[in-house]
Amino acid sequence: MATLTPRVELAIGSRFENIDLVQVVVKVSLQQLRLDDDTSHWIGMAVREAVANAIKHGNRQDPDKKVEVTFGIVDGDVLIEVRDEGSGFDPAGLPDPLEPANLLKPGGRGIFFMRKFMDGIDYDFRPEGGTVVRLRKRLETSAPGETQEDGSK
Amino acid sequence: MKMAMRQRQGVTILQPKGKITIGAGDVALRDAVHEALDAGAKNILINLRETTTMDSSGIGELVSAYTTVTNRGGKLRLLHLPPKVQDILQITQLVTVFDVYDDEDEAIGSFD
């Protein structure tokens, strides 16, 4: 089994231009794992969406608030955590972007993309404030598909 | 992201080059579509051949562009989808919304 050593951690200010920095770090880190290009691409896209949500909805683009990203291998899975300083949200309350009434809405696809691109997603809403989104990808899979919803905690 | 804009047979062709992502390319795409509409464009073709990355905000801007153009009585169509963008349109079921072409002549002719 491929391993990623050491675990990667980074923190960025809540600016959209910093998303590219996170994606570059993720891409370079994934190169250690010798994943195929498709798998690396979809993981990178999921991380983009998670960080974008953390900046936009979690930290409300306050540049003084941090988004922390950790990235590593746990039990054979790629595990990425994205933490913000926001007040959280209700995952069950998110509209389905595939519903005909929502198809032409401009927003509401970020978490949908994460679910599609990864094998698992769960959320941790900390009582002191802040949200952690955990993205998991099994290393043996390569195509975007259905994601196991681990549920909110 | 850089945006090229040209006219051909009454169709405004937009060709974004680079990322259509949150905070950068999405705004540039929105501005280009509104600029074209303000200049009197009815029919808009977006050539995505040089689009390297499109996130959910980029998809959202495409949808907004489609509804804005359609609501003004015009037509918006897509040309040369990169494979990853095609995948995203499949996943979001927006392939059922957009008319997509692989050939510019055919795309231009479709506006007649």
Q: What angle do CA B98, B99, B103 make, to 5 degrees?
A: 135
Q: Which CATH number fits domain B2-109: 3.30.465.10, 1.10.1740.10, 3.30.750.24, 3.30.930.10?
A: 3.30.750.24
Question: Is residue A18 scored above 80 in pLDDT?
Answer: yes
Mean pLDDT of all residues in B31-50: 97
At residue A4 the predicted structure's pLDDT band, cuts being 50, 70 and 90, is: low
Helix (H) or strand (E) holding A20: helix A18-31
pLDDT at A153: 36
Say whether A52 and B59 touch across the interface (CB within 8 A). Answer: no
The overall longest dimension of chain B from CA atoms, in Å, is 35
Mutate to test the interface with B, among A19, A26, A51, A99 (most CBs of B within 10 A): A19
Q: State the smallest CA–CA distance between residue B61 and chain A in angstroms.
A: 6
Mean pLDDT, chain A, integer: 89
Q: A120-129, B75-84, B101-110: which range is least confident on average?
A: A120-129
pLDDT in tens, A66-100: 999 999 998 889 999 999 999 888 888 999 999 99
Complex ipTM, two decimals? Answer: 0.92
Q: Where are the domains of chain A?
A: 10-152
pLDDT at A129: 85
Mutate to test the interface with B, among A16, A27, A40, A115 (most CBs of B within 10 A): A16
Please name the amino acid found at residue B46: I
At residue A144 the predicted structure's pLDDT band, cuts being 50, 70 and 90, is: low
3-class secondary structure, A47:
helix
pLDDT at B24: 86
At residue A140 the predicted structure's pLDDT band, cuts being 50, 70 and 90, is: confident
Say whether A98 and B55 touch across the interface (CB within 8 A). Answer: no
Which CATH code fits A10-152? 3.30.565.10
DSSP state of A37: H
Q: Where are the domains of chain B?
A: 2-109
Residue A110 neighbours by CB distance under 10 Å: 23
Q: Cα–Cα distance between A105 and B97 in angstroms, integer?
A: 12
Say whether B21 and A48 touch across the interface (CB within 8 A). Answer: yes
How far is CA A51 from each of CA A9, A69, A82, B1, rounded to the nearest angstrom? 14, 8, 7, 20
